[in-house]
Every structure is written in structure tokens, then in C-alpha cells.
């Protein structure tokens, strides 16, 4: 019988694991992006914060009380491939090599399915799927440029699994992100690139409030009433952005090497699969 191949098993997430690892986070200036940034800084990572809105990005940077040698920022619209490639190049120039990339930037347009236009659907597919894919490509090229493996986490949504009224374009785009994640994990495994996704539910963000305001106006309700209806009955409160961020940190870590191509629900039990 042939001898069993020896397997090296990595340990748990530690500050030491992250001390020399740089990660790009898109859509880093608000909502879930800020929670992901906070969780990565907790872990000890170096970060490139990217967002399309320079003023919001600058405000987010000013709010972080961490050594500046662990941080960098880059204004980029993810729908512009040249800007995405420039973001990846900036990360390499700033930190010498890149370990991880979190695709958090995205967009949503609400409306009844019968009234949703082709333009609205295409806009969401372009931003949430095509641009995200271009970011994945740029991430892998940069990670390989550092002659080491790494990991990518895509922010999808439980809307990509369940579907919700008045979110047809958004739901379809997030379902595509889930499938794209599985395909890229399979194809890039030989490159030592791990790819996973998270599927948030009702996270306490400005976007969730905008969704609540939309439904409140259409149904003659108060915004807070609608928000209360969004909350998971198992958790009995909204999810905090940093809680999503901590799951993202785990999926980027060595401890998650056996989790591949998965779309992990971070919705407090609302989605059963």
C-alpha cells in the first residue's frame, strides 16, 4: 500500500496569520463594507479601502484609529475595468504583494417586476456581476504577481437564493454571483486561490433603510414598522455589519481552506439552504 500523503493543516485565525497579509475591499466606505474593514483590522490585516465616492472614502479613513502603515485607499468605479486594474496595481505597489480581495461594491434598484426596465436590470447585472468578475480577474493577477496563493470573498445576498418582491434585477444578479463563485473556485483551485461568497440578510445599513422606506411609502406604513418585519425571528435584532465582516475574515483565512465555492448564509437563519 502506498504511503499516505502528509497534509499540512493550518491553525485558527490569529493576528499573526494576518500580520503580513494585504486585502482589497471594494465598496469600503459604507454599510457592510465598513463592517468588513473593521473585522479585517481586528484580525490584523493590511488594507486597501476602495470606493467610487471619494468624499465617503475619506470620511471612512478618518474614522479608523489604526496605524497608517496598515492602510491605503484608492478611488475606483468597479464598472471601469481600467480603474479596477489600477486598483490592483496600487495594492501591489503599496504592500508588495496581495493576499485577498473582497468584492463588496454593488447596486440595487427597486421596482415592481412588471415596471422594471431593461436598463435597470442591465445596470444591476453590469455592476453586481460583470464588474465583480473583472475585480476577481484583477485580484487573481495581483495575487499571483506576489508568487503566493490567496482568497477572494464575494458579497452576494440571500436575495440570490430566495428572491424578494420588487427586487428582480438585484435578486437575479446576486444569484449569478453565487454561481460565478462556484465556477471560479473550481477553475482557480489549481492556482491556490480560494473563492467563496457570503449571503447577508437584514444587515443594519443605509441600504436596508432605503429598502424599508420604499416599502413603507408604497404600503402606507412607517419605516420602522417595515424594518421590524425584516428582522430574523431567531436573532430578534438586525445583523451588524461587523458580524458579516467576521465571517468574511474567516473565509479569507487558512482555517477556511476546505470551504470552497460556497455561498454562506449570514442572515440569522432566514435562509434554510
User: Is residue 10 over pLDDT 80?
Assistant: no
- Mean pLDDT, the chain, whole residue set: 93
Mean pLDDT of 242-250: 98
pTM attached to this predicted model: 0.93
Q: How confident is the model at residue 1 (pLDDT cuts 50, 70, 90)?
A: very low
Q: What is the pLDDT of residues 121-174, one digit of tens each?
A: 999 999 999 999 999 999 999 999 877 899 999 999 999 999 899 999 999 999
State yes or no: is 170 an active-site residue. yes
Which helix (H) or strand (E) is 184 found in, with range? helix 168-188
Locate cell 504592500: which residue?
A: 95
User: What is the three-class DSSP state of 242?
Assistant: helix
Number of domains in the chain: 2
Query: Does residue 213 sit in the same domain as residue 126?
Result: no
Closest CA to 62 of 95, 92, 29: 29
Report the CATH number at residue 166. 3.40.50.720
Query: Does residue 248 sit in the same domain as residue 233?
Result: no
Q: How confident is the model at residue 8 (pLDDT cuts 50, 70, 90)?
A: very low
244 part of a folded domain: yes
Q: How confident is the model at residue 13 (pLDDT cuts 50, 70, 90)?
A: very low
Query: Does residue 87 sit in the same domain as residue 109?
Result: yes
Q: From the candidates 99, 170, 214, 273, which is the catalytic residue?
A: 170
Query: Does residue 140 sit in the same domain as residue 229?
Result: no
User: Is residue 7 over pLDDT 60?
Assistant: no
Q: What is the pLDDT of residues 67-106, one digit of tens each?
A: 989 999 999 999 999 999 999 999 999 999 999 999 999 9
Segments forming the whole domain that contains residue 225:
202-238
Distances (CA, A) of 151 to 24, 86, 154, 170, 234: 11, 19, 10, 25, 31
Amino acid at each position: 500500500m502506498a504511503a499516505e500523503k502528509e497534509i499540512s493543516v493550518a491553525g485558527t485565525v490569529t493576528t499573526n496569520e494576518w500580520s503580513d497579509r494585504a486585502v482589497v475591499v471594494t465598496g469600503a466606505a459604507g454599510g457592510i463594507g465598513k463592517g468588513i474593514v473593521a473585522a479585517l483590522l481586528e484580525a490584523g490585516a493590511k488594507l486597501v479601502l476602495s470606493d467610487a465616492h471619494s468624499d465617503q472614502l475619506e470620511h471612512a479613513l478618518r474614522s479608523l484609529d489604526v496605524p497608517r502603515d496598515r492602510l491605503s485607499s484608492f478611488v475606483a468605479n468597479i464598472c471601469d475595468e481600467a480603474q479596477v486594474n489600477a486598483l490592483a496595481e496600487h495594492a501591489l505597489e503599496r504592500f508588495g504583494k496581495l493576499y485577498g480581495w473582497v468584492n463588496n461594491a454593488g447596486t440595487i434598484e427597486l421596482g415592481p417586476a412588471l415596471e422594471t426596465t431593461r436598463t435597470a436590470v442591465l445596470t444591476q447585472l453590469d455592476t453586481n456581476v460583470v464588474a465583480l468578475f473583472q475585480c476577481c480577474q484583477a485580484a487573481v493577477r495581483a495575487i499571483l504577481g506576489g508568487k503566493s496563493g490567496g482568497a477572494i470573498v464575494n458579497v452576494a445576498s440571500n436575495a440570490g437564493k430566495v428572491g424578494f418582491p420588487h427586487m428582480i434585477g438585484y435578486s437575479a444578479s446576486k444569484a449569478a454571483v453565487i454561481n460565478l463563485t462556484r465556477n471560479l473556485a473550481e477553475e482557480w483551485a489549481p492556482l491556490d486561490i480560494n473563492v467563496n461568497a457570503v449571503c447577508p440578510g437584514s444587515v443594519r445599513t443605509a441600504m436596508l433603510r432605503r429598502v424599508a422606506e420604499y416599502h413603507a411609502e408604497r404600503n402606507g406604513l412607517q419605516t420602522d414598522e417595515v424594518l421590524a418585519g425584516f428582522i430574523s425571528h431567531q436573532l430578534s435584532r438586525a445583523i451588524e455589519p461587523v458580524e458579516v465582516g467576521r465571517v468574511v475574515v474567516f473565509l479569507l483565512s487558512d482555517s477556511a481552506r476546505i470551504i470552497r465555492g460556497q455561498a454562506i448564509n449570514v442572515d440569522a437563519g432566514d435562509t434554510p439552504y
